[in-house]
Amino acid sequence: MRRSFAVTATASLLATAPAIVVLGAGSASAESGLTVQTTAPGVLGIAADPTAFTVKVTNSGQAAHSTKLAFTLAGANLNPALGGLGPQTVALQWQDNDGAWRDVAVAAAGSDSVTAALPQREFGSGEQVVKMRVRVAPKAPAGPDGELATFNSHDPSAPKPADPANPYGHITLTTTATPVGETAKAAAGGAATDTDTVKLGAPVVSLVNHPTTHAPGGTPKEFTLKIDNATDSTYTALSTMLAFDLTSGNDSALVKLESSSDGKAWKPVPAMEVPGEMINPLPGTVGVQPRSAVEQQLRMSFTGAAKPGDGVTYLAADVLDTTAEEPAPIAEFCGERGKFAIVTTDSSPGPSPTPSGSAGPRPTDTPQPVPSTPSPAPVLADTGGDDNSTTLIGAAAAALILAGGGIAFAVHRRRA
């Protein structure tokens, strides 16, 4: 069984500036006495909040230079789900002297390449720092059939990236400071440039201590859903969901999924009605800071009417656009599925959650970072599947309003 979650979305490329860690820098000088040095993010999160970076322009001469500050972003080995690098997928902003963020017009400059330039300005003697922020997100709609862009490295039917070891690709960011007008005539040597390589990344969603066996009517078994953000970007609002694929005549009415903020009080996670399947959007949203992780405590069980057979747990995290009137998904990241079996007798109590120093917040709680080693980027691998694979894609066949989030998810089934 192959599966990806998807919902219809409209992307917004502007949001509140996040607090981020910026990495890497370089510089180059022109004979005009200008030096430009860009401090770019090391890993830019796809569809994350706008991510800050800085450009330092140094004028070692005595005269002020009227200068054009321009940028070129060129993508390489991009994941096909992104939909390319162009004006529809790149947003760039700069901060003016009053602290307001101003949009920078982005223009196509060939395949997977864009250019942008700030208004001409004076750079006097000494250093000046220009604050910038950038965002790369799938255009809406994206995907091969106009669906929500779904990044599913665990689905053998998903589009394969050019470089499986770096499945999201990277961007070459070139910054150029060019004297213009009368200044250009007096400033021999022309432009100063700086080039930085920015990797693209995304949250990694995974199941920790996922139980492998269940007995009909047995004790609920606990496990953890973890979102690990190894990028330098903030994700303000992620919506997570699970789906269960059951065999041997079992259906969604036989499964009980619950969540907890403290491992003591458990609340049911309602299911979305899809014939023969169970999809459980977890309530509310969760945010995750750069280079950190958050966890959600879950447990599942089966009623006594469940029959022996196999099952699969699928999982995904959707990035939500919180600037829309109704928060809408922008992109979806799927995790490695978990397999389990329903058995007639089960002596195993199931694994205990791995201690993390955190109670594991519910998505509706304020998320707390947990100790995290950045997860390796996922690689495409054939996880098996049958010929009658099912894909959940964005279309209006069934809708569920998530408690506390006010988010309408539309889902329907399609034979792959």
pLDDT tens profile 307-328: 999 999 999 999 998 777 777 8
pLDDT digits 0-9 by tens, 95-133? 999 999 999 999 999 999 999 999 999 998 899 999 999
Task: Specify the range with the lowest mean pLDDT, choosing from 252-256, 276-280, 287-291.
Answer: 276-280
Number of domains in the chain: 2
- Which comes out higher in pLDDT, residue 376 or 107? 107
- Which comes out higher in pLDDT, residue 7 or 172? 172
Determine the Cα–Cα distance for residues 333 and 339; give it in Å rounded to an integer: 19
- Is residue 110 in a domain? yes
301 and 257, same structural domain? yes
pLDDT digits 0-9 by tens, 224-238? 999 999 999 999 999
Determine the Cα–Cα distance for residues 365 and 399; give it in Å rounded to an integer: 24
Residue 141, pLDDT score: 59
Q: φ, ψ for residue 291 (rounded to 5)?
A: 55, 40
The mean per-residue pLDDT over the stretch 327-337 comes to 90
139 and 39, same structural domain? yes
Residue 139, pLDDT score: 79
314 and 196, same structural domain? no
Residue 278, pLDDT score: 66
Tell me the sheet residues that pair with 289. Answer: none
Check pLDDT > 90 for residue 284: no
Q: How confident is the model at residue 345 (pLDDT cuts 50, 70, 90)?
A: confident
CB 279 within 8 A of CB 273: no
208 and 190, same structural domain? no
234 and 197, same structural domain? no
- Number of neighbours of residue 211 by Cβ within 10 angstroms: 22
Check pLDDT > 60 for residue 271: yes
- Which comes out higher in pLDDT, residue 7 or 100? 100
Residue 218, pLDDT score: 94
Check pLDDT > 50 for residue 65: yes
Residue 212, pLDDT score: 96
Task: Using alpha carbons only, give the angle 218, 224, 229 rounded to the nearest 5 degrees.
Answer: 165
The mean per-residue pLDDT over the stretch 234-252 comes to 88
* Residue at a domain's end among 137, 169, 201: 201
Average pLDDT for the chain: 77
114 and 48, same structural domain? yes
Q: What is the CA radius of gyration of the chain?
A: 24
- Is residue 2 in a domain? no
* Residue at a domain's end among 201, 223, 241: 201
Question: The tokens 């994941």 sit on which residue?
Answer: 79
369 and 331, same structural domain? yes
The mean per-residue pLDDT over the stretch 271-299 comes to 86
196 and 216, same structural domain? no
- Is residue 12 in a domain? no
Q: φ, ψ for residue 257 (rounded to 5)?
A: -110, 135
Q: Which residues contact 210 (CB under 8 A, 6 or more apart)?
A: 223, 313, 338, 340
Check pLDDT > 90 for residue 377: no
The mean per-residue pLDDT over the stretch 195-208 comes to 97
Determine the Cα–Cα distance for residues 308 and 107; give it in Å rounded to an integer: 58
CATH of the domain at 167: 2.60.40.3880
Residue 189, pLDDT score: 57
- Is residue 106 in a domain? yes
Q: Which residues contact 373 (CB under 8 A, 6 or more apart)?
A: none
Determine the Cα–Cα distance for residues 21 and 42; give it in Å rounded to an integer: 9
Task: Specify the range with the lowest mean pLDDT, choosing from 7-21, 64-78, 88-102, 173-187.
Answer: 7-21
The residue range of the domain holding 310 is 204-415
CB 27 within 8 A of CB 40: no
Check pLDDT > 50 for residue 353: no
Q: Which of the residue ranges 139-143, 219-223, 269-273, 329-333 has the most confident prediction, judged by mean pLDDT? A: 219-223
- Is residue 1 in a domain? no
Residue 43, pLDDT score: 98
Q: Residue 190 corresponds to which tokens in the numbers above?
A: 């022309």
The mean per-residue pLDDT over the stretch 235-247 comes to 92
- Is residue 62 in a domain? yes
pLDDT digits 0-9 by tens, 15-54? 333 332 333 344 555 566 889 999 999 999 999 999 999 9
Task: Specify the range with the lowest mean pLDDT, choosing from 139-153, 294-308, 395-409.
Answer: 395-409
- Is residue 7 in a domain? no
225 and 151, same structural domain? no
Q: Residue 223 corresponds to which tokens in the numbers above?
A: 């496990």
